[in-house]
Homo-oligomer: A and B are copies of this chain.
Amino acid sequence: MIESIGKARLSDIVADRLKQYIVDEGLSPGDRLPTEGQLAASFGISRLSLREATKSLGFLGIVEARPGRGLTVGSIKMDRVTRVIGFHPDLLNADPVSLIGTRVVIETGVLPHVARRMREDPSIRERLLSTNAELESADNLTRFVELDIRFHRLLIESSGLTPLIAFADVLTVFFRRFRESVKKAEWSAGIQAHNQIVEALHEGRIDAASELLRTHIESHAKRIPSNKADKRET
């Protein structure tokens, strides 16, 4: 309600007007919009104020701007919308236990899909194993983390459930500090777990793969200072 007292900003008004223009004209992704100069003149405002509006819409991909070409109607991509979700309070305030639990839900949840697609497309297994082989030769933490992220992302990608890829990418940002606290002595256990997960999937042992993956992700809980890991009851 505090919000409704506030005076509307030009940029907000203009953004809404632009959106309405797109709707009214029945425009589709790729269609040209008037130039910044023309729009600013139509609205009777400065070009910079107009840009504040177009940038707002551009943040979600609704409008795209290219020098020399102008403004076009953009396209909505789940990953772009999801990028915004990193500001969601439920993520910003997430405690480590929730982050771990969330990863477990997503990553074990995709395993039936991965296993099915692995049978149809053997290159999935090759790619996972190949990434893991790279992990084995990682010689510094940055590289190890990068490849660990790649392995897990590839696992989710292999499910075909693209929204979950975007979600996992967001989690990666918040989860990074846990990955970076992994001791070198623990790398080989992680790499071994990856291999075991892939083999269990390959053999269609989905429950076993889930259990391995859950244990692998939950291993991060051991390194959380002043935290009581929430024991899972089954």
A residues neighboring B (CB under 8 Å): 6, 9, 11-12, 15, 19-20, 22-23, 27-29, 48, 51-53, 55-60, 62, 66, 75-78, 81-82, 84-95, 98-99, 101-102, 104-106, 108-110, 112-113, 116, 159-167, 169-171, 173-174, 232-234
Contact = CB atoms under 8 A, between A and B. Distances in A.
Question: Copy number in this complex?
Answer: 2
Could you tell me the dominant secondary structure of chain A's interface residues? helix
A170 B78 contact: yes
Given A89-B75, A232-B112, A162 B98 contact: yes
B98 A59 contact: no
A175 to B, nearest CB: 10
A28 to B, nearest CB: 6
A84 B62 contact: yes
Given A11-B59, A105-B110, A22 B92 contact: yes
A84 B91 contact: no
A174 B164 CA distance: 13
Nearest to A99: B163
B58 A162 contact: no
B85 A60 contact: yes
